[in-house]
Amino acid sequence: MKNLRWGLIGFGDAGENFYKDLKLRKISELKNICSKSRFRELKKIFFDIDITDNYDESIEKTNVDIVYISLINSLHYEYLKKAIKSNKHILIEKPACIDFEEIKDIRKDIYKNKNIYFKEAILYLHHPLIKNIYEISNNENIGKIIKIKSEYGFNFKKKKFLFFLKKKNRKYFDKLSGGGAIMNFGHYPLSAFKVFNKGFGIIKKISKKNIFGSSNVDELSDLEIEFSDQVKLTAKVSIIQNLDSYIEILGEKGSIRINNPWIPNQNYVIILNKNNTKKEYNFIEKKSLWQLTLENIEKDLTQFKNAPSTYGTDISSSIEYMELINKWKSI
C-alpha cells in the first residue's frame, strides 16, 4: 500500500483534531470529509478535499481505503455496518457501539470479512507512557497487583462550557444519543485495567453509585469490581464534576501513579511509591496522541495486518469494554 487514503465521517472536535495531525503525515492523505452540520463552512475552506454531507455516499467512496467514524455515539453501529459492507478499514471513535448486542453483531461481520482492519480510537494506549509504566513496574518490582484505580471527568455544566454545551448537549446529556459519563468516559478506566492487569478476569463482585440528571443519563458514577483473582478495579467518571485525572496501580510492595494519562503533556512524570519513599521518573514525548495513533495504523496496514498491534484497541477488546459498560450501567 503506497498511500493510505482516508475518509472522515463527522467533523466535530475529534474529527478536527484528527485532520490537523493527518495532514502532517507522509503516508496518509485525506480524500473525503463528510459533515452535515458544517458542510457549507467546509466547502469554503477545503478545495483539494472532497466535501460531502451524505454519510452513506462517503462510506461508499471508491478512492478511500479507511474511514474514521466520528459521529454521535448512537450512529456508530449503523455506519460501522455500512463501512464493513463497503470493505473499508475502520477507525471508530469510542464507544464503538452503545449496546453489547450491537458490538457482537459488528464482530460477526468483521469475522466474516477477514480483510477488514478494525480499531477503536483509544488514543492514550499508543503513548510511550504505557511502556514506561510496564518497565518501572518490572524493574522496581511493586509485587502482585492488588488494585488499579483511575478517574476522568469534567464539569460540562460550568458557565465557561455553556457555548460548548449548546453544540455538544446530545453527546453528553442525551440518553438516546448515547450520552452519560459511563458511555463517554468509561473506556478510559476499563482499558487501563485491561492493559496493566493483562486482561479481565471473572467478576466476583461489582458495585456502583450513580448520580442521574434531569435528562436521565448517568452524570457521575463510582465503580468497583472485584475479580476472581482478587484484583480490584475502581473507577470514577463524570460529566458534571472536574475529577483528578490519573491511573494508580497498587501492588503488594509499592504503587505507581501517573497524572493526566488520558491526554498527557509533552513532559510527563511517573511516580513510584515504595518502602515509604517517593521516586519520580521524568519523560518527554513530543508527538501528539493522534500522531502516535496514525503512525501505528500506518505501520499495521503497510505490513498488511488485519488487526491492530496496539493491545486493547481491537474488536475483542471492544466486546469486553461494552460488556462491562452494560453491567456498569445496569446494576
- Note the pLDDT tens digit of each residue in 49-107: 999 999 999 999 999 999 999 999 999 999 999 999 999 999 999 999 999 999 999 99
State residue 114's pLDDT score. Answer: 83
**Burial of residue 207, with CB atoms counted within 10 A of its CB: 0-12 exposed, 13-18 middle, 19 or more buried:** exposed
d(CA 123, CA 119): 10
State residue 216's pLDDT score. Answer: 87
d(CA 8, CA 114): 23
**Burial of residue 203, with CB atoms counted within 10 A of its CB: 0-12 exposed, 13-18 middle, 19 or more buried:** middle
Helix (H) or strand (E) holding 67: strand 66-69
**Burial of residue 260, with CB atoms counted within 10 A of its CB: 0-12 exposed, 13-18 middle, 19 or more buried:** middle
Cell of 72: 454521535
CATH number of 128-284: 3.30.360.10
Comma-separated ranges of CATH 3.30.360.10 domains in the chain: 128-284
| Average pLDDT value for the chain | 93
CATH class of 4-124+292-314: alpha beta
Mean pLDDT, residues 259-264 taken together: 96
- Note the pLDDT tens digit of each residue in 167-181: 556 788 888 899 999
d(CA 270, CA 247): 10
d(CA 6, CA 83): 12
The backbone torsions φ and ψ at residue 76, rounded to the nearest 5 degrees and listed phi first, read: -60, -50
d(CA 230, CA 277): 26
Comma-separated ranges of CATH 3.40.50.720 domains in the chain: 4-124+292-314
Task: Write down the pTM of the prediction.
Answer: 0.94
- % of the chain at pLDDT higher than 70: 96
